Amino acid sequence: MRESYLEVKLNRRTLWWILAGAILLILVGLAVLGRFHTPQPAHVIWWAEWTEWKVERRYRKELAQMRKDLEELADILQGRPDPVKAELVATRMEQRHASGLGLLEGQREVAITAAQVVRDWAAGYEKYDVAVEALNEAIAIMEMSEYHIGGSDGRESIYEKADGDGRTGNDVGTSTSAEDEWWTYSK
């Protein structure tokens, strides 16, 4: 077996240029990263504030996923009953939303219940109107779960909007904008 070596000779000056270039690249990378995470107006972020932001991001992500799942249920209701697709969607929702933030426990339960009712409708065990009602109830609860992220502009955070039991209250940012009109399902 033959071993080969690569011999590199660097003088001090070349080594300093390489080191300076690496430091410059690290600083540019940190500046780009900081640009995305710096609050406006810029201020020092304390651990409690960072933790709140992480929870809010997780809240938004989980809520958005539940909305996508409810859209998929609405698509199933609009078409012909497809028990296989309804079963797959319901099972995926049950697995995906088995755990998560405590703030969204009630929303998860209602979304999973709606998925089960749509599955039962597609299999012929439940009436269409009951499935539509369950889906609309889940959609209404998701609309009540919308919130504004806290910041220096006076908007409230999910912590300020939460009731004593940790769930969001009925006054949580229901929207009436045109972009949210798609969110209510009807026959």
Mean pLDDT of the chain: 77
Q: Over pLDDT 90: what percentage of the chain?
A: 29
Name residue 168's beta-bridge partners. 162
Q: Of residues 143 and 169, which shows the higher confidence score?
A: 143
Which pLDDT score is estimated for 148? 38
33/49 Cα distance (integer angstroms): 18
> Is residue 174 within 8 Å of residue 142, measured between CB atoms?
no
How much is the average pLDDT of 114-127? 92
Number of CB atoms found within 10 A of residue 161's CB: 18
Token couple for 118:
């749509």
How much is the average pLDDT of 169-182? 38
Which residue in 154, 47, 56, 139 sits closest to 103, CA to CA?
Answer: 56
Which pLDDT score is estimated for 21? 95
DSSP 162: B
Q: Of residues 6 and 179, which shows the higher confidence score?
A: 6
Q: Which of 2-11, 26-35, 55-64, 117-126 has the lowest mean pLDDT?
A: 2-11
Alpha helices in the chain (DSSP H): 12-37, 47-78, 83-96, 105-123, 128-144, 158-161
Question: Could you tell me the pLDDT band of residue 137, with boundaries at 50, 70 and 90?
Answer: very high
Q: Of residues 187 and 73, which shows the higher confidence score?
A: 73
pLDDT at 124 over 80: yes
> Is residue 44 within 8 Å of residue 75, measured between CB atoms?
no
Which range among 27-41, 89-103, 109-123, 170-184 has the greatest average pLDDT?
109-123
pLDDT at 16 over 80: yes
pLDDT at 47 over 70: yes
pLDDT at 185 over 50: no
Which residue in 99, 98, 105, 100 sits closest to 166, CA to CA?
Answer: 105
40/43 Cα distance (integer angstroms): 8
Name residue 162's beta-bridge partners. 168
Cis peptide before 83 (omega within 30 of 0): no
Which residue in 179, 186, 183, 155 sits closest to 63, CA to CA?
Answer: 183
C-alpha angle 115-116-119 in degrees, rounded to nearest 5: 85
How much is the average pLDDT of 104-109? 88
Token couple for 137:
């109830």
Which residue in 83, 82, 142 sits closest to 112, CA to CA?
Answer: 142
Q: Over pLDDT 70: what percentage of the chain?
A: 77
